[in-house]
Amino acid sequence: MEIAGFVGMSHTPSWDLSFDHRGPGEQFVAAVGEARSMVRDVACDVLVVFGPDHFRNFFFDVMPSFCIGSGEVRGFGDYSSPKGPLPGHPDLGRFVASRVMENGFDPAVSLNMSVDHGVTQAYAALAADAQVRLLPIMVNCAGGPMPSLRRCHDFGRAVGEAIRAFPSAGRALVVGSGGLSHSPPSASPFDLAVAEDMRDYAVNGRNRAAEFNALREMQSIERRKLGGTGPINEEWDRWFLQTLASHDLEPVLNLSADALLGEAGVGGQEVRAWIAAMGAWGAPVQSSTYDPTPTWITGMGCATAAAAPATKREAS
């Protein structure tokens, strides 16, 4: 199987997946629209989406560093993202899991994997109306002993090697979903500032996910009605995107979790998904757009690359 391209993109509760969006986030939405066209242009058969979970499906009763969806895939349905069965790729998932284990990695494997907007917003934005399958790979960005950025890159490289070794013909596109800089309230059970009820949910909340999600969605709607904003680090976001366009990822891979937290905030830990996808892609990004959007509480970025010639956007 060929890897035909790469997309890295932010996700946010504030976007309803409408492509005629006007106002804050407009440049980001336009850039994702171009990435959506690229998915069609490269005629990909499967999106391999690296993304986080936001305590809808994965909890600290057992929290893997990585989990590969190797069977049925279902969308949780939060924030206007797809709900219910999604077209997975079990054969590819099992093959990738087996190959990366041969190469020194020990991901969890799920034969009945539920994914929230951390994976499904990117999938829906890029390919939901096309006949494209989904291979989800959850990356722990929620807290505790998260995999280092270097480990994420190495893992992604092993995933990329496995995809290319898959014996069936086809074209994959690797996607990193998350970030850029933003800082929602921490929910990590290892954060001493987290309230005890939130800590208990992060560990034991598997049966309360629907209730938790309803509360979070209501809070998000109220914040937007009141014109709330969130802190972002525009300078760091632009540096990150510029580094992805270079031939040297070492400045990013050398960042510790604490350093990343200081620069990009709690939500910035999600750039692990981008870095894993970059490892799978194995080359610099070719184009990027940055749209600092405080009313969406996130620095919104979209970066792309394709094996075939693609129209380039200058970083804005």
Report the catalytic residues: 117, 182
Phi, psi for residue 151 in degrees, rounded to 5 = -65, -40
In this structure, which amino acid lies at residue 169?
A: A
201 near 210, Cβ under 8 Å?
no
Spell out the alpha helix ranges (H) of the chain: 26-41, 90-102, 117-127, 149-165, 196-204, 209-225, 234-245, 250-253, 257-264, 271-281
In whole angstroms, what is the distance from residue 115 CA to residue 65 CA? 15
- Please tell me what DSSP assigns to residue 184: P
Report whether 54 contacts 15 (CB < 8 A).
no
Question: How far is it between the farthest Cα atoms of the chain?
Answer: 53
Residues facing 126 on adjacent strands: none
Cα distance between residue 172 and residue 169, in whole Å: 10
CA distance 266 to 102: 33
The tokens of 249 are what?
A: 């990822």
CB atoms within 10 A of CB 214: 11
